[in-house]
Amino acid sequence: MRPLPGLTLQEMEAWLAFLKAHAEVTALLDRELLDEHGISLAGYEVLAFLSRAEGRRMRMSDLAGAVLISPGAVTRRVEALEARGLVTRSRSTGDARVVEAALSEAGSEVLKQLTPTHVRGVRAHFVDQLSPRELQVVAKALWRVAGSCEAAGSP
């Protein structure tokens, strides 16, 4: 493989490995959740973030930032979950211009069913593929990259 102009072969290998691993792992996690529960990884992420939020509710804009997607995309995800009774949407009591999503009791119960499948997949497709030392190095390096992007003004 020839690297892109401006990247060494080692840099190109690291970049492509990151992209490939992310795509493959997330595709497997998505397929497992869909096959076993009929809910996508994207749906799981929305439910999981809402479950950890104060009062199990978040502003839609904050939820979009947490799951790393556009506000329009989070609206579509929340609408699909709302149609299944797993989340609700309402105007904020503090600011009527703000729409919040909240995890319903049914959503909380479904999340309890989804989580073991998700954790099993994360373990099988990521955690168990690395030694404890590799996990530590990967986490430290990727948090540094994420921090650099945030400091540069990533959305």
Q: Which helix (H) or strand (E) holds 27?
A: helix 9-37
Mean pLDDT of 13-18: 94
Mean pLDDT of 61-90: 91
The neighbouring-strand residues paired with 90 are: 100
1-15, 16-30, 82-96: least confident range: 1-15
Predicted TM-score of the model (pTM) = 0.87
Q: How far apart are CA 56 and CA 30, in angstroms?
A: 23
